[in-house]
Amino acid sequence: MPKGWPMVGEQDWRAAEIEALEEAGVEGTISRKPIGEFEYAKIFNDGTSVLVKATVYPLYVDKVKRRWKERHERKRHWFSPKGAAKALKQPELEDLLLDLKDDPKKNKSIRELLP
């Protein structure tokens, strides 16, 4: 799940779109409406941490790049919503993903992205 910081001069949904490209090498159509939020502890290289609230925007992926900005720092892996929830250690995000597992089209933000 690509995550980032708010970007000066960018709407949050646009920042999420940029992070998806930089961290996962994916492009597509992003919803301007979030599907939820979750909190997590962002741990820095020096060992300190800060509690961060992340807003989740769905992205309909049209293009998966072979080469992207952070490809040497990250490993891309595709999951079903249920598989992603199982792999995560963030209960709020797990709940958000599990809500999508049966029928993602029930969520208006996702439904509007689908062709």
Sign of CA dihedral 63, 82, 84, 33: positive
**Residue 20 near residue 56 (C-beta atoms within 8 A):** no
Q: Can you give the pLDDT at residue 103? A: 83
Cα 39 from Cα 77, distance rounded (Å): 22
Q: Can you give the pLDDT at residue 76? A: 92
Q: Can you give the pLDDT at residue 105? A: 82
Select from 44, 35, 49 the least CA-distant residue to 92.
35
Q: Can you give the pLDDT at residue 88? A: 85
Domain ranges across the chain: 12-111
Q: Can you give the pLDDT at residue 49? A: 95
Note down pLDDT in tens along the chain; length 115 residues.
777 778 999 999 999 999 999 999 999 999 999 999 999 888 999 999 999 999 999 999 999 999 999 999 999 999 988 899 889 888 888 988 888 887 888 888 888 888 7
Q: Can you give the pLDDT at residue 101? A: 81
For the domain made up of 12-111, the CATH class stated in words is: alpha beta
Side-chain half-sphere CA neighbours of 57 within 13 A? 20
Sole residue written with tokens 């995550």: 3
Rounded to 10 degrees, the C-alpha dihedral 90/88/72/59 comes to -80
